[in-house]
Amino acid sequence: MAAPGQAAAPASGRAARIGISGVERVYASTRSSVTALHDLTTEVPGGQFLSLLGPSGCGKSTLLRLIAGLEHPTSGTIEVGGTTVTAPHPDLGMVFQEDLLMPWRTVIDNILLQADVRRADRKAMRDRARELLAQVGLEACENKYPRELSGGMRQRVGICRAILHDPRLLLMDEPFAALDAMTRDQMAVDLADMAAQRDTTVVFVTHSISEAVFLSDRILVMSPRPGRVVADITVDLPRPRGLHVRETPRFADYVGQVTEVFEDLGILRDRRPAGHHEGTQR
Ligand SMILES: Nc1ncnc2c1ncn2[C@@H]1O[C@H](COP(=O)(O)OP(=O)(O)OP(=O)(O)O)[C@@H](O)[C@H]1O
């Protein structure tokens, strides 16, 4: 994956390509039916860092669950690594808004849960878990319990768990949404550093335009429900990217480009003079 904190890892070709073709997802009950996604077609090359941006309820989480194989499209197909997704597939890491750590397990045992469910060699995985903890500055915390950690620390542990088995695909559903702004910035840098060291495709859901621009190779902007892709923006900012990239005119241009799409959709309303972009949730 090409991520902002460091130079991109050399692509080994192992990162999963995603193919989404004519995907529709309708949630039907006896009383009503909701079309969450409508006729979604796109391809995500292996190793790309893709962000999904869109208003609440436009189907971003639904799309992640479909890619993960946790649920199925009503019509259309999704391929991951050349295979049609019909069930949850193992070569995947997932991170959610809530850290989902088990309170009765220590930090290291929470990470090793990934090894336990896969019946992997616990000893080898323990060494790897320690390496990952060191990468995110939590080497002194391996025997602590989640209640002893801050929200940002817990979310770092969640990310370590998600990538312990070196998945070819990482799906992240608003992983930093519950964190304060400064922790969130640091998490973006940490994620960038971790991502840069492995060849993984990432699909990242966020409501933050600047977070999406900072992290991504590409941003898909989705319309209000039923979710469709209304803009497909390649973020061609040089890497490595540090937080200072946010002060550059090119960064502002990308933020402005995405903001305009939201203004055109009527989701952001700008009462300031033309050219001055300051929306919510940047
Ligand atoms: N299991 C379900 N049953 C019925 N409707 C559902 C189900 N899951 C999602 N939906 C509906 O599908 C639409 C898309 O939901 P989804 O959670 O994918 O949106 P989202 O873009 O991730 O929203 P948010 O940004 O608020 O998390 C919403 O209208 C939601 O109510």
Ligand 1 atom at minimal distance to the Cα of residue 205: 22
Complex ipTM over 0.90: yes
- pLDDT value at 151 more than 60: yes
Amino acid at 158: G
Rounded Cα gap, residues 252 and 18, in angstroms: 29
CB-ligand 1 contact for 62 (6 Å cutoff): yes
**Residue-level pLDDT at 136:** 84
- Most confident range (mean pLDDT) of 7-16, 174-183, 224-233, 246-255 is 246-255
CB-ligand 1 contact for 34 (6 Å cutoff): yes
Amino acid at 62: T
Q: Work out the pLDDT band at 99, boundaries 50, 70, 90.
A: confident
Q: Are strands 75-80 and 18-28 parallel, antiparallel or unpaired?
A: antiparallel
Using alpha carbons, select from 37, 137, 132, 53 the residue that is nearest to residue 93: 132
Ligand 1 centroid to residue 66 C-alpha, Å: 12
Q: Work out the pLDDT band at 269, boundaries 50, 70, 90.
A: confident
Residue with the smallest CA separation from ligand 1 atom 1 is: 27
Q: Sheet with 218-222: list strands edge to edge.
A: 92-95, 169-173, 201-206, 49-53, 218-222, 229-234
CB-ligand 1 contact for 30 (6 Å cutoff): no
Q: Work out the pLDDT band at 282, boundaries 50, 70, 90.
A: low
CB-ligand 1 contact for 56 (6 Å cutoff): yes
Q: Work out the pLDDT band at 273, boundaries 50, 70, 90.
A: low
**Residue carrying structure tokens 């460091």:** 6
